[in-house]
Structure 1
Amino acid sequence: MKILYIPSGYGQIYQSFDLSILQSINQLNHQVRSIPFSEEETLKNVVHSFQPDIALTLTGFNMPYTMIEWIKKQGVKLVVWMTEDPYYIDRSLKLIHDYDYVFTIDTAALKVYKEAGHKEVYYLPLGTDPDIYHPTALQKQYQSDICLVGSPYPDRMKIIQYLLEKTNYSIQVVGRQWEKKLIKAKRSSRLSIHSHWIPPSIAKHYFNSAAINLNTHRPFHLKQNKNIRAIINQSINNRTFDIASSGAFQLIEYKPDLHLHFTEGEEMVSFKSSEDLLKKVKYYMSHLEERKKISERARKKVLSNDTFIHRINKMMNIIN
């Protein structure tokens, strides 16, 4: 298949997604060209010369409607992968009908899109890239008992404060604005704050150098969201697959769709409350071999089912 890949226009983690997707398309022996939507004339020239079967983009939020119309007039099928669902579903509902195929990372959003009348919408979570996320040796500068990589959402800050109060473990948080958000907690000598965005190549070292990685999800009711319907996310985030691919142990906030990818207690351990988390943190901190076995099984599962190659292959099979 000939695929025109149009980057979302976002930076940081999206640049990593772009690279992993392009590499996966190549490894699956499809032909691919990638042109930013901002380079309109170049993009049009590529469409004329390359004659793609489909044009694929992520989120679709930045794609000009004039470009969408033009591409469709060339007989090219438009495909969008909604990778921020359901947090910006107010925006995505306005544009799904511009695309021939819609893929979403969340089953709650999938239901909404089907109810909105789209005939070609499918659940497809983001994958992981084993070339980036793989086991590494423990490194002292990244080491911690408990680590949380991600944005300082209110529920995450409460969890960190709770664990600082209830345990004596060293805790590390990594991500933009943690320093600003955790003014009180930063007085603890057991808390390390790295208040900046880190690329995936560094994130894997934090994952592998922590005894336990905390993995919680973005709240559906966060005020920055565009989710007036209050659609509650049902699916697990891509960090789940990244941590697992790294061969690291994680405690993940429970989501109903967790069972679609992992067996609870065998390949993944979830928690449903702060008290449940505390109980499991204490247990697994003192059971190293169990952590290792669960992490090994999770990595094996991900490598067999949840890489970007698996996702792109499934997408292309559906379109075909």
Structure 2
Amino acid sequence: SPDEMCTFDIALIGYPYPNRIKAIDTLLKQNKWRILVAGKEWHRHLNKSRRHYRDFTLITNWLSPQQMADIYQQTAIVLNPHRPSQFVYNKNKAMIQNMSLNNRAFDIAATGSFQLTDLHPPPTFSSFAFYKDEDDLIKQVDYYGSNAGERKAAALNNYEQAVRWNTFDTMPQRLYEIVKSAL
């Protein structure tokens, strides 16, 4: 999206996991971006004073895939933190760490939108931008927020990589290689 068409500087759609709440709270404290957060339960997890921040939009109702795509395309930076392995409601007794991008990463990439995630992406998706902690999140948002050219180039690479790896033409061969490697 051209900068002048971006309704939001930052958007996050999804459940309010603790790391997502911390990221949004960190960004709201900066008081310098137009932020949209969408998902059930967010209203219960954000400080009341933050919910009344002038440039903050909170959507708590269900969004259709088209509405989500529209939000992604109207946003300069889509934030995509992953569910933490130690989240209390996970059924992850072995505490297996996230090592791959979530399905939302591909949804965001398919819309041609720029995303910032908390996982270092695999080499196949080398153009996905990521942050290490809250201080780095602020630095990355500042950087990509003021470098539209790099943001657009990364979004285009994300789109091309996601489409190249997830089409009916490439999927059968990839599935074959996965099964073959497991034998």
Task: Report TM bin, short chain.
Answer: 0.7 to 0.9
State the Cα distance separating 1:245 from its structure 2 match.
Answer: 1.2
Whether 1:314 aligns to 2:174 is: yes
Residue 178 of structure 1: how far off its partner (Å): 1.3
Q: Does 1:215 align with 2:80?
A: yes
Assess if the C-alpha contact under 8 Å between 1:214 and 1:250 holds in 2: yes
Cα distance in 1 for partners of 2:43, 2:4 equals 23
Going from structure 1 to structure 2, the CA distance change for 1:299 and 1:287 (only over 3 Å counts) comes to same
Find 1:304's aligned residue among 164, 173, 183.
Answer: 164
* AA partner of residue 122 (structure 2): H
3-state DSSP class of the match of 1:261? helix
* Aligned AA (1:295): A
Counterpart of 2:145 in structure 1 is: 285
Give unpaired runs (5+ residues) of structure 2.
none
Report deviation, 1:252: 1.1
Instruction: Note if contact 2:116-2:129 (Cα within 8 Å) is conserved in structure 1.
Output: yes
- Computing the radius of gyration from Cα coordinates, the structure with the larger value is 1
Of the candidates 52, 57, 67, which is equivalent to residue 187 of structure 1?
A: 52
Distance 2:35 2:130 in 1: 19
| Contact 2:99/2:119, CA 8 A, preserved across alignment | no
Deviation of 1:314 after TM superposition, in Å, equals 3.1
1:243 aligns with 2:103: no
Normalising by the residue count of structure 2, what TM-score does the alignment of the two structures yield? 0.87
Q: Which residue does the alignment assign to 2:61?
A: 196
Deviation of 1:183 after TM superposition, in Å, equals 4.5
Q: Determine the structure 2 residue equivalent to 1:260.
A: 123
Question: Which stretches in structure 1 are left out of the alignment for 5+ residues?
Answer: 1-135
Q: Following the alignment from structure 1 to structure 2, what is the Cα–Cα distance between the partners of residues 139 and 250?
A: 18
Give identity over the alignment, percent: 33
Residue aligning to 2:99: 234
Distance change in 2, residues 1:318/1:188 (3 Å): closer
CA distance, structure 2, for counterparts of residue 253 and residue 217 of structure 1: 7
Q: 1:248: how far off?
A: 0.5
Q: Distance in 2 between matches of 1:139 and 1:206?
A: 15
Query: Which of the pair is proportionally richer in helix?
Result: 2
The alpha-carbon distance between structure 1 residues 217 and 308, as it changes in their structure 2 partners (threshold 3 A), is: farther
1:168 counterpart = 2:32:
yes
Answer 1 or 2: higher relative contact order, Cα 8 Å, separation at least 6: 2
Partner-residue secondary structure (3-state), 2:57: strand
Distance change in 2, residues 1:179/1:313 (3 Å): farther
Deviation at 1:217, TM superposition (A): 0.3
How far apart, in 1, do the equivalents of 2:114 and 2:68 lie?
A: 14
Give the TM-score taking structure 1 as reference length. Answer: 0.51
